Amino acid sequence: MQTLVVYYSRSGSTRTVATALAHGVGGTLRELVDANARTNLFLAAMAALFRRSARLVNPDYDVAGYETVVILTPAWVGNPAPAANTFLRTVNLTGKKVLIVALGESGENLATSSHLEQMARARGGQVIGVHHIHGLNSSGKAGPSATVEELEKAGQRLADVLQEPHNQED
């Protein structure tokens, strides 16, 4: 099973989870690089709140060679980060299994994951799972449940989920 792991990360925690996950499944890691570094947190939050897209640096929307696409994004004010919006509004996920992963300070971000799920379905994807992971607090510092080790473990757990037999079937 070929797996593509696509992620956006502003402060590194989503990257840690995505890297461990890709390593665990022997998949391909693809970063969504936002041309805007989002250093102004207020403006970043507003862009997410208004469901804006982002301009991506060297975007690659080709998922043809993959059976499964994992999409990871931080939750920003209950929404996906703009880079994830861009990817999900452009990619063709017809016939692909899609695993959605949202990181957040609060752990569970149902509003964010619900947006992601809807976008993935609108692009033809078959959503096989939705996961929430404790990320960093909003100022970018690791909270007690989001050490690098915890984030790596979360990524490994997701790799295990993807390798469960029912997620491997056609």
Ligand X SMILES: Cc1cc2nc3c(=O)[nH]c(=O)nc-3n(C[C@H](O)[C@H](O)[C@H](O)COP(=O)(O)O)c2cc1C
By beta-carbon proximity to ligand X, the closer residue of 44 and 93 is 44
Q: Which of 33, 59, 105, 156 binds ligand X (CB under 6 A)?
A: 105
Q: Which of residues 55-94 bind ligand X (CB under 6 A)?
A: 74-78
Which two structure tokens, joined as six digits, stand for 30?
A: 């693809």
Helix extents (H) in 2-147: 13-25, 41-49, 82-90, 110-122
Q: Which of 24, 104, 125, 155 binds ligand X (CB under 6 A)?
A: 104
Cα–Cα distances in angstroms (integers) from residue 89 to residues 61, 98, 115, 116, in the given order:
10, 14, 12, 10
User: Which residue of this chain has its Cβ atom nearest to ligand X in the complex?
Assistant: 135
Q: Which of 4, 22, 25, 44 binds ligand X (CB under 6 A)?
A: 44
Pair 109, 80: CB distance under 8 Å: no
Distance CA 48, CA 138 (A): 14
Q: Per-residue contact track with ligand X, 1 to 40, x per CB under 6 A? A: --------xxxxxxx-------------------------
Q: Which of residues 108-127 bind ligand X (CB under 6 A)?
A: 109
